[in-house]
Chains A and B, each alone.
Chain A
Amino acid sequence: MIFSSFTFLLLFMPVVLLGYRLLPEKAKRPFLLLSSLVFYGWGSPGWLLLLLYIMGLDYAGGLLIARFGKRKKAILAALLVMNLLPLVYFKYAVFLRDTLDAVTGWRIRMDSPLLPAGISFFTFQGISYLIDVYRGDAREQKNFVRFGVYLSLFPQLVAGPIVRYTDLEAQLNRPPQTDIASARLGMRRFAVGLGKKVLLADAMGRFWKLMSADLPAAGALGAWLGLIAFSFQIFFDFSGYSDMALGLGKALGFTFPENFDRPYRALSLTEFWRRWHMSLTTWFREYVYIPLGGNRRGEARRNVNLMIVWALTGLWHGAGWNFILWGVYFGVLLILEKKYVLGRPGFERTPGWLRQAGTYLMVLIGWGFFAGKWAVFPAMAGMYGLTSPRAALNCLSYLPILLLCAGISFLPKLSLPGRRFAAPILMALCLAALAAQGYEPFVYFQF
């Protein structure tokens, strides 16, 4: 089920939030677990087996690690393999097959499995729990319902943020909380997130689709504006989803870690990655970069570690060379930035707006790799001319909404009057947009 669907907005969400509010305390957590399973199984009931497998495996794994302290390393290793196997099969098997075929000339026969929604997210959450218990950062969870709620909590189940167990441990072990003030704040944030997704991201997605479908016709103007629109699409789609997740979590009495902090206002790439998909960056830092040695073993080793982390980050986003290239691109740029840019007097003297623009430009080029539409680069370079009349009309039509996205992304946050009415107005506009346009899957579900 996706948030921007009528099934969720008109049936699932009201029933679950009202039910959660009205049920006695003892019944709240089991109800939440059941709701989360319905939410996940709604798209394809078969995938529930996979979620239940990871849930059972990691629940039992946590108990085993705590019980057999001396052999916990071997147990953890085995559990990590068993966690990662479904991910590798469902997400990367076809990529590995195609790569092997291309390198060796073989013709490996294998069906392409459908990718279960959110597999990367809940697999990483399960792994974070096991490692936290292994390290002694968290106590094993003996209550299966509480553990089930942690792993499958529907607001963040399929598109994050990736909630580490230590973030939720205390919240899970206390009685459920459903105060009205949290519900109000939560639903307001949900409405903002839904608006970002339905009113901004989807519009930007349509414009990018129009431009990228015929880049020679789009020309330089269409390619630049199209790729900028794609950068807004991916930001508003994902940060909108995170807002919805955080808002729903809040309404249910949970506080999840923030996932975005106005990333296009970053003044350097290092800062950008502190503001973009923060839960993933934190996950890789905690569970890959630091265990590899981080920056404690000299500059050369740090650079190798960074490249490993960024290649994996790219691969996490999708099984394709364009994603790996995208990750490596940022790895290289971040290494260069740390060595030659950050802290240098020339950089410090550069006006903020110029640093912001330069950072955004680098990120924008990265989105070109991410999109995998290689023709966008020659088009942006003007090799197909300026534009065509039809593309120019589309550019002009989408310009107001593009400027609105740019304003929200680049400018300081404004405090507008009448914010109390923002949520119902946004909800009405989103329902209107959904009624008129049907619904569109979230871009980030494929990860």
Chain B
Amino acid sequence: MAVSADTVQQVASLAEQKYKYGFFTDIDHVQAPKGLSEDIVRFISAKKGEPEWLLEWRLRAYRHWLEMKEPDWARVDFPKIDYQDLYYYSAPKSKDDGPKSLDEVDPELLKTYEKLGIPLSEQEVLAGVRNVAIDAVFDSVSVATTFKARLEKEGVIFGSFSDAVKNHPELVRKYLGSVVPPTDNYFAALNSAVFSDGSFAYIPKGVRCPMELSTYFRINAAQTGQFERTLIIAEEGAYVSYLEGCTAPMRDENQLHAAVVELVALDDAEIKYSTVQNWYPGDADGVGGIYNFVTKRGACRGRNSKISWTQVETGSAITWKYPSCILQGDNSVGEFYSIAITNNMQQADTGTKMIHLGRNTRSRIISKGISAGRAQNTYRGLVRMGPKAEKARNHTVCDSLLIGDRCGAHTVPYIESQNASARVEHEATTSKVSEDQLFYCRQRGIDEEDALSLIVNGFCKEVLQQLPMEFAVEAQKLVGISLEGSVG
């Protein structure tokens, strides 16, 4: 089903604006009929040739979702979503049978990813541009995964979630929903019912993944929800660093993105998960943009395991997202490093949960919120020390920066301790960008926007330095771009 010429034109005219990923790829799509029902769930499952147990799992989630209410506790405000007015499945037509190799991938798609700055050609990567294996997810499906062979040699499984269901059903069945149960929350339930694709990574015992794993998510089709599901398992002693990036075309409608990410780290394993989220944020008046309602959770199941979340959230009209760690294993470590930038009419309600269950577990939270324009930016976090979390430690620092007098910055931490030997320390500040700093930079010839970008990047330094090198540079630029138009 081709998208109407009307839309294409509309998008083309929008593309002149600052969001440089706002283009649309005109490509033939296979779409499920609009709306959500058990039939749609069956359609998606059938389309992917899924086993019966997975269909049942989806249907249970769907039925539960019907009974649930959309959460309203977050500090975000948006018109009611009509869940029957969305497409729940959209795939590039040529992918119907799936490309067997990169050569079979539609050249239009490859071009799209080139334009996004993500080379899917292995040649380029081998030439030393980046040492990263990439899984590219286009609307509802994974279109390409690079470096599969190289990874397989090490026993690392990395690819689309659909392939994992086909090729490693025992792993999927064992871990799917074990960290985020299908009934966990409204959006997780919805995702569980209709998720179409996503990435799957499995790092076997003792293996240090030889390259960064990365997924680029791209919403392309109109009126389409994206519901990806990511599952990463690090066996004993394994290590993996994973990065996801997200972009979408500019449209004057809102689009729903409700993803679920589950991480499992066993004894002595470490997962480093980085996100650069740059979904289309809508225009300066708040028209259009992605609703980003995401459930991300990692389970530190094993002793001495570690899960580290780093996020740079600059996009989306609305962000509702709390990457969390369940610190089950003794001595396990959870980290959350976050930069959330909201400008114009964007709203973000984001933070983390650190649930300390095991002895001697440790967590660290560094959150940097920047609010400009008429945006609202909320840090919401929970640190819980369970009764058995002997000697557990948490340290939290939440800093908010305000640029302009019409935006808001909010800090809502929940701190709960049921163990006397545990220690929680939380500090938060809110202030505006210093006039003194701005003037100082300008007196040295640096214009106001560059000065602001410099100062804000400095403010975010502790988080930016957590990102893998090649993405840190990209993220720094993004910080500057996101704040364009917020001064002067």
> Are A and B physically bound partners?
no
Contact residues of B with A, CB < 8 Å? none
Contact residues of A with B, CB < 8 Å? none
